[in-house]
Amino acid sequence: NAGVTQTPKFQVLKTGQSMTLQCAQDMNHNSMYWYRQDPGMGLRLIYYSASEGTTDKGEVPNGYNVSRLNKREFSLRLESAAPSQTSVYFCASSEAFRGYEQYFGPGTRLTVT
Amino acid sequence: AQSVTQLDSHVSVSEGTPVLLRCNYSSSYSPSLFWYVQHPNKGLQLLLKYTSAATLVKGINGFEAEFKKSETSFHLTKPSAHMSDAAEYFCVVSDGNKLVFGAGTILRVKS
């Protein structure tokens, strides 16, 4: 039981390049989330998927898109990376959407130059 | 809207002494509250959660937190710090739809 896995662990992009961050969970959870973590700001929600087939914007969605590929997988895409997107990205999942604890992946450290 | 304030950005204690990490929240109704821990270069791990049962919540690794509605607080404590407790701690409130994170408290444990 791997929990929540993320790939890649590290990535360096040039401004304007695109990439997709992958996330998968094996806990049969219904809800999945993408966060970014910046120093002194805690975690901020980018997008979430309350259930398979649905996605919604979080607090900081600009510059990102997501796809809930199936119940297990939830990807985050940067279409045209900017230096302001340099951050650590965490994927999380929870059994259901309201009031449940979330389980986090190990993170992807992204640098945009 | 829900919000969380962690009152200390850094806390330093000696090994074997008590730990207190302070958290205040605002919520328009009975919240669910969580504490997460993040060790360096790792993901977040759930320490404990409050979901309107007992006001004193026990978590992993000897941590506990007390929900005080009158003070809108959910402080995290541990009687005796261990070197392995050095990490960043996040107080989190659920607004019914999503989690709202505090800015984090970095705990340093001195030998």
pLDDT per position as a tens digit, A42-90: 899 999 999 999 999 999 999 999 999 999 999 999 999 999 999 999 9
- Proportion of chain A above pLDDT 70, given as a percent: 98
B40 has a chain A CB within 8 A of its CB: no
Tens digits of residue pLDDT in B40-92: 888 899 999 998 778 899 999 999 999 998 999 999 999 999 999 999 999 99
Which of B64-73's residues contact partners 24+ apart within 8 Å by CB, and which partners? B65/B33, B65/B35, B67/B33, B71/B24, B72/B24, B72/B25, B72/B26, B72/B27, B73/B22, B73/B23, B73/B24, B73/B25
Residues of chain B with Cβ-Cβ distance to A92 below 8 Å are 44
CB B32 within 8 A of CB B51: yes
Q: Please report, as a single letter, which amino acid is at residue B57.
A: V
Q: B39: phi > 0 → left, psi -120 to 50 → alpha, else beta; which?
A: beta
- Tell me the residue type at A41: M
> Which residues in B lie closer than 8 A to residue A99 (C-beta atoms)?
32, 51, 94, 96
Q: At residue A98, does pLDDT exceed 90?
A: no
In whole angstroms, what separates CA A16 from the centre of its chain? 19
In B, minimum Cα distance to A43 occurs at: B101
Token pair for A83: 């230096």
Helix, strand, coil percentages in chain B from 3-state DSSP, rounded to 5: 10, 55, 35
Is pLDDT at B37 greater than 90 in this prediction?
Answer: yes
Using a CB-CB distance cutoff of 8 angstroms, which residues of chain A are in contact with residue B43? 4, 90, 104-107
Q: pLDDT confidence of A96, banded at 50, 70, 90?
A: confident
| Predicted pLDDT of residue A31 | 93
Tell me which of A43, A49, A56, A93 to substitute to probe the interface with B (most B C-beta atoms closer than 10 Å).
A43
Cα–Cα dist B76/B4, whole Å: 14
Q: Which residues of A touch B90 (CB under 8 A)?
A: 42-43
